[in-house]
Amino acid sequence: MMLNRKTSLLLNLGHALDHLFLLIFATAVTSIATEFGFARWEDLMPYSAGAFLLFGIGSVPAGRLGDLWGRRSMIGIFFFGIGAAAMLCAAVQNAWQMAAALALLGAFSSIYHPVGIPMLLQHARNPGLTIGVNGLAGNLGIAVAAILTGLMVKYAGWRAAFIVPALLAFICGFAFLRVTPAETESPARRKNKSSVQLSPKLLARLFVVMTFAAISSSLLFNFTTNGNGQLLRERFLGLVEDPALLGALLAIVYAVASLAQVIVGRLIDRYPLKRLYLAIVLLQIPMFLLAANAQGWTLFCLQIGFMVMIFGAIPFTDAMIVRYVDDAIRSRVSGMRLAVSFGISSLAVYLLGPAVKSAGFSNLLLAMAVISSCTAAFVLMLPGESDGTARAIAEL
C-alpha cells in the first residue's frame, strides 16, 4: 500500500529537522563559546563529536527496531525524542552539559535515516526521484539551520535556536501519529523483494565497497556542513560580518546545492549508477583545490560548487540499497552501513576545530580534495551496469 501524501510530507519534513538540529550547534558555536568562557570557537567544537558518533552508532539498534518492531513507532519516537533533546540543549550551562545534551540529540537523530528513508521507499514507483526529493528536504533543513540560527543568535540568543525547532518537532510527532495508519505487520514479516537479487557473498562485498565510499563521503559532508559557517566568516572578514547575513549567505549555498539531489535522483532512475556517481565525485576535486585559497565572493561561488557535488553524491547509497536489498532487512542494512560511515566520520567533527586552528582552512580544503580522490577509487569498485539495469554482478 502506498503511503498517503501527509505521511510522505511529514517523513520529508522529518529529514529536514534531522539535519537542522545537528547543525544548530555548529552555526551558533561562536556565540556559545563566548558564553561558556572559551576564547576560540575551535576549542569548543570537539564537544559536539559525541552527537555525530551516536548519530552513527545509534543507527544499528534503530534499524533493527525499525524492521522487527515497526517503522511508524520508531519515527514517532524520533520526533518526540529529538524535540526533547533540543530543549535540553537550550537549558545547559557549560560545555560538558552541552556535550551530553548533544550526544542525546545525536542518539535520537540516528533513528531517521535507517527507518524513515526505507519507510518512504518501501512502495515508491520511482525510487531515485523519491530519494532525491527526500534529500532536497534534508539539505533544505541544513539551509534553514543556517538562516534560523543566525537570526535567533542576533535577535533572541542561541538558546532560542534550539527551542523553536524543538516545538516544531513535537507538532510533527503528533501529526505523524495521527495521519499514519498503524502497521499491521513489521517489515521483517513482509515479502517485498529487491529489484536485483544477489547472493549473500556478493551482497556482503557490495556492502563493504558501499560503506567505504560512504565513509569518505560522510567525512566531506561533516567537514563542510560543520565548517562552512566559520569558513565564510573567515574569508568574508571585512566584507560581511553580520551573523544574520552570514547565515543567509550560507543558507543560499545549501538551498542551491540541495537542488542537485532532485536532479541526481531523477537521473538515477534513467542512467547507470556507477557512471553518475563517479562523475559527481570527480568534480568535487577541482572545486576543493580552487577553493583552498579563494576569498570573498569567489570562495562563495566555489562553496556552492563543492556543496552541489557533495549533496549530489548523497542519493547513491540509498539507491543501491533499494536496488539490491529486500525491504524486509533494509533498515538493518542501512543501520549497519550508517553506523560504520557516520561513526568514523564523526572524527571530522572532533578534528575540525583543532585542524583549522593548527593548519588553517586552506590545508583542510586540500585534504578534502584527497578524500574525494579516495571516494572515486571506491566507486570504481562498484559493479558495472548497462541501460540503467544491473548486470555483470560477478564483476565484483
Q: Are 356 and 40 in contact (CB under 8 A)?
A: no
- C-alpha 355/C-alpha 254 separation (Å) is 23
Which residues have CB under 8 Å from 242's CB, separation 6+?
154
Nearest to 113 by CA among 309, 345, 281, 314: 314
Contact between 45 and 29 (Cβ < 8 Å): yes
pLDDT at residue 334, rounded to an integer: 80
Among 368, 38, 116, 54, residue whose Cα is nearest residue 225: 368
Please, what are the domains in the chain?
5-395 (1.20.1250.20)
- C-alpha 161/C-alpha 227 separation (Å) is 18
CA 89/CA 103 separation, integer angstroms: 10
Taking a C-beta distance cutoff of 8 angstroms, is the pair 336, 62 a contact?
Answer: no
Please tell me the predicted confidence (pLDDT) of residue 104. Answer: 96
Angle at 324 (CA atoms; ends 15, 390), nearest 5 degrees = 120
Distance CA 29, CA 47 (A): 10
Positive/negative CA dihedral, 81, 12, 257, 162: negative
Q: Rounded distance, CA 134 to CA 8, Å?
A: 9
What is the C-alpha to C-alpha distance for residues 8 and 179, in angstroms, rounded to an integer? 10
The three three-digit cell numbers of residue 116, written as one number: 524513515
Which run of H or of E encompasses 39?
Answer: none
Residue 386, pLDDT score: 46
Q: Is 186 left (phi over 0), alpha (psi -120 to 50) or beta?
A: beta
Which residues fall within 8 angstroms of residue 238, CB to CB, at 6 or more apart?
none
CB-based burial of residue 178 (10 Å sphere; 0-12 exposed, 13-18 middle, 19+ buried)?
exposed
Give Cα 232 to chain centroid, integer Å: 20
Cα–chain-centroid distance for residue 312? 12
Pick from 350, 330, 346, 317: which is nearest to 56 by CA? 346
Q: What is the pLDDT of residue 393?
A: 34
Angstrom distance (rounded) from CA 61 to CA 40: 36
Among residues 137, 74, 154, the alpha carbon closest in space to that of 109 is found at 74
Q: Alpha-carbon distance 4 to 6, whole Å?
A: 6
Task: Characterize 267-297 residue by residue with b for buried, 16 or more Cβ atoms within 10 angstroms of its Cβ, and e for exposed.
Answer: bbbeebbbebbbebbebbbebbbbbbebeee
pLDDT score recorded for residue 127: 80
Residues near 378 by beta carbon (within 8 Å), at least 6 away in sequence: 209, 212, 213, 216
Cell numbers at 345, concatenated = 566520520
Quote the longest CA-to-CA distance of the chain.
Answer: 60
CA-based Rg of the chain, rounded to a whole angstrom? 20
pLDDT one digit per residue (tens) for the chain, 396 residues: 457 889 999 999 999 999 899 889 988 888 999 999 998 888 898 888 888 889 888 988 998 888 888 889 999 999 999 999 999 999 999 999 999 999 999 999 999 988 998 888 877 777 888 888 888 888 788 778 878 888 888 889 999 999 999 999 999 999 999 999 887 766 666 655 555 555 667 777 777 877 888 888 888 988 888 888 888 888 887 776 777 788 788 888 888 888 888 898 888 888 888 889 999 999 999 999 999 999 889 999 999 999 999 988 888 888 887 777 777 777 887 888 778 777 777 777 777 888 888 888 899 999 999 999 998 998 888 766 543 344 433 333
